[in-house]
Structure formats: C-alpha cells, structure tokens
Amino acid sequence: MLKNQLLIAALLLGTAASSLAQEKMKPEDTEVWEPVPHVVATPVGQAPSDAIVLFDGKDLSAWESQKNPGQPADWPVAGGVFTVNKKAGNIWTKQKFGSYQLHLEYYIPQDIDGEGQGRGNSGLFLAAIGNGDEGYELQILDSYNNKTYVNGQLGSVYKQRIPLANPARKPGEWQTYDVVWTAPTFKSDGSVETPARVTAFVNGVLVQNNVELIGGTQYIGRPSYKQHGPAPIMLQAHGDPSKPISFKNIWVRPL
C-alpha cells in the first residue's frame, strides 16, 4: 500500500513531468488500484450501512445528559421522534468524534410562537467541549419569516458565519441538516495547527461551503479556540419560551 501511496503522490505532484514525457505515457500509467474504498450500502431513506446511528426512533441510549454526565438523556421519545425537554437541559452523545459526516432531521411545531431568537431555537454543537453552550454551534431556529441577526439565523455558524441562503421550511414540516465537519487540530502547545471547517446543507441547500472557523462559538465576545480532542455532538435545550422542537433520524459517519 505504501508503494501505491507513493505512486499517487508521484502522480499528483510529479515534478519531472514534461510534455514530451506525457506524450509517451500509456493510459495504464495513471491507473491507481489501491487502496480500495470500502463498500457502503445506501438503501433509500435509511442510514448508510457504515453510519453510527445516533437515533433510529427507539430510544436515546446513544445520548446522555450534559449537565449530569452519566445520567440518561431525559427527553421524551414517542412515535419515532424525540422532543426537547428544557428542564433536562442539553443532551450529548456518549461517544466522542473527530471529523465526520452527519445527518439530522428536525421539526418545528406548526403552532410555534415567539420571535427572533425566541422562536424554535435549538442548536447542533458539532463538538461540545465544555459544560454549557461551548463548542461549535450550527444554529437551528425557525427562520421562516422570522427576522433576526443573520449570523444567528438557521444555517449560520452562530455569531461567526452567515449562511449562503435561507432554505427554512415553514413550521410543521420536517427539515434536514447534512453536515461535513472537519475537526480542528492543535499543536502540543495548544495552539491551532489546522482550524475547523464546516460544509452544511439545510433541506438540501448549501448554507456553508467548507468555511474555516475562527474558534468556538461565543454568545458574548469573539470566537476563540481552546485545545480539545474528540468531542461529543450536542443538541441544545435552548431556554427560549417557545414550543419545543423535535428530532429524528440522526446518524454520523466518522471520516
């Protein structure tokens, strides 16, 4: 396999190539046969076969309470969906993740009330690194005819990256998030080696195109990085007084 990797490297970087040399190459010279990508089954409407299913309708056994680590995620489950329980606070995955592809579906009640940030507010923390709302938050909010600051609307990296579009469906329809998360890496001294990157689609529409993050989300002040390793994925029990939102069909594929 090493040989093949060298072959690829040569192919990609090959400094000795001249147009003369190229003319004498054969088609076979640029074929690469290894490593063979793993096979993934993709049945329509189901999680890919290599995904870790974080919720499939049954229970929240993949999650736990954030404020009481080790305690169950006390959000009610019924009819194949689960619903935010503000009293129980945020929930996060027991398992920790580096970079990954994630799929999630959320539902804002048809009779949602409130406005601005107080209307269907939750959040998907791509890596939760503290005990509160620390980490990198992709905003979940009812942004259907609901004005707020644009770096805080649906599809934003909260207070850091404005979404490319507003694809919010109206309350009472299921909506989707598809995310590619590239976790940041850190040097031994805690400084950033490679920053975090996010690609995200809401309802199939690109809202973040491999944007580079400048740090973890801050409600007050500027984003900044703190060193961390693999981290849980977190769903926010936002304190706003509007009706609670629901989730289903969550899976993640570590990259």
Site for its own copies in 81-140 (CB under 8 A): 81-83, 101, 103, 107, 109-111
- Min separation Cβ 92 and its own copies, Å: 20
- Min separation Cβ 171 and its own copies, Å: 9
Cα distances (Å, whole numbers) of residue 103 to 113, 114, 239, 248, 254: 27, 27, 24, 10, 12
| Calpha distance 26→131 (Å, rounded) | 58
- Interaction residues for its own copies, span 203-242 (CB under 8 A): 203-207, 209-210, 214, 218-222
* φ/ψ (deg, to 5) at 4: -65, -40
Contact flag: residue 197 with its own copies (CB under 8 A): yes
Contact flag: residue 151 with its own copies (CB under 8 A): yes
Count of residues in contact with its own copies, rule CB under 8 A: 89
- Min separation Cβ 184 and its own copies, Å: 15
Which x/- pattern, by CB under 8 A, does the window 25-54 give for its own copies? xxx-xxxxxxxxxxxxxx-xx--x-x----
Between residues 69 and 123, which has the closer beta carbon with respect to its own copies? 123
Pick one of 11, 68, 226, 239: the residue that binds its own copies (CB under 8 A).
11
Residue 115: is it exposed, middle or buried by C-beta count within 10 angstroms (0-12/13-18/19+)? middle
Contact 79, 157 (CB under 8 A): no
Cα distances (Å, whole numbers) of residue 78 to 34, 111, 150, 168, 247: 46, 19, 34, 25, 11
The two beta strands, 91-93 and 135-140, are unpaired
- Interaction residues for its own copies, span 154-193 (CB under 8 A): 155, 159-160, 162-169, 172-174, 178, 180, 182
Pick one of 199, 225, 240, 254: the residue that binds its own copies (CB under 8 A).
199
- Min separation Cβ 213 and its own copies, Å: 10
Q: Which two tokens stand for residue 216?
A: 């973890």
